[in-house]
């Protein structure tokens, strides 16, 4: 597991120029809203891990990886864990940038910073939903599928929140329902990813 994490970190560091551009783009988004900047950084940092799957498959790399003393589930587990680590790192960077911007503008809003933690699980779901698709269909085919999946997810989430809001459900219950749905979805994506890796011929 540690070897896989180190491998992905080395691959991500090869993209340091894109990494810096991404941070700059996120800071520019602070002019729109701090939430937008934090969400952008979380999601883009997580997407860097998804990109390592393509590097793993380059030059028949996957057969070599699968010959190592690891299970198929270890490979998937590392991708899910690494994605969370990167997203949380993006979140921390976004929070630090937000605090600096707030201090410069003399409008420090602690409540906004506390509420922004909800962006981490949202960005995580949006990122890991790409893992089984990327493993199954590869980089080229997965792009269109991911776009369609994101659209369905966003439309479905909007409809769900509208229906829940119309049902006059208390805030704590909405949060509880959201947490349960996110956990269930992550578990399904994790199991599905393992199944795809196990059934795929390398």
Whether pTM exceeds 0.85: no
Higher pLDDT, 46 or 21: 46
DSSP alpha helices (H): ranges in 14-129?
16-28, 34-57, 61-67, 72-104, 110-115, 119-128
pLDDT score recorded for residue 150 = 60
Residue-wise pLDDT for 18-31, tens only, equals: 777 777 776 676 65
CA separation for the pair 66, 197 (Å, rounded): 10
Burial class (CB in 10 A: 0-12, 13-18, 19+), 180: exposed
User: Quick one: pLDDT band at residue 163, thresholds 50, 70, 90?
Assistant: low
Instruction: List the single range of 12-21, 141-150, 183-192 with lowest mean pLDDT.
Output: 141-150
Q: Does residue 84 carry a pLDDT above 90?
A: yes
Q: Does residue 79 carry a pLDDT above 90?
A: yes
CA separation for the pair 76, 188 (Å, rounded): 13
- What is the phi-psi region of residue 37: left when phi exceeds 0, alpha when psi lies from -120 to 50, beta otherwise? alpha
User: Quick one: pLDDT band at residue 169, thresholds 50, 70, 90?
Assistant: low
pLDDT score recorded for residue 20 = 76
pLDDT score recorded for residue 53 = 83
**The pair of three-digit structure tokens given for residue 154, joined into one six-digit string:** 């966003």
| Half-sphere exposure at residue 121, Cβ-oriented, CA atoms within 13 angstroms | 13
Residue with tokens 């795929």: 200
Q: Tell me the percentage of the chain whose pLDDT exceeds 70.
A: 76
pLDDT score recorded for residue 52 = 86
């Amino acid at each position: 597991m540690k070897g896989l994490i180190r491998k992905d970190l080395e691959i991500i560091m090869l993209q340091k120029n894109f990494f810096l551009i991404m941070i700059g783009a996120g800071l520019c988004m602070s002019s729109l809203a701090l939430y937008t900047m934090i969400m952008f950084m979380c999601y883009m940092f997580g997407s860097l891990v998804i990109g390592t799957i393509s590097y793993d498959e380059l030059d028949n790399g996957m057969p070599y990886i699968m010959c190592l003393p690891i299970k198929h589930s270890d490979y998937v587990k590392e991708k899910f864990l690494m994605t969370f680590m990167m997203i949380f790192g993006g979140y921390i960077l976004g929070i630090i940038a937000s605090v600096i911007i707030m201090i410069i503008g003399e409008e420090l809003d602690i409540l906004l910073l506390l509420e922004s933690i909800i962006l981490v699980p949202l960005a995580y779901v949006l990122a890991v939903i790409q893992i089984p698709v990327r493993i199954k269909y590869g980089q080229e085919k997965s792009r269109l599928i991911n776009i369609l999946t994101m659209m369905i997810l966003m439309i479905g989430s909007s409809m769900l929140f509208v229906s829940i809001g119309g049902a006059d459900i208390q805030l704590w219950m909405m949060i509880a329902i959201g947490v349960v749905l996110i956990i269930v979805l992550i578990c399904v994506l994790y199991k599905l990813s393992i199944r795809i890796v196990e059934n795929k011929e390398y």
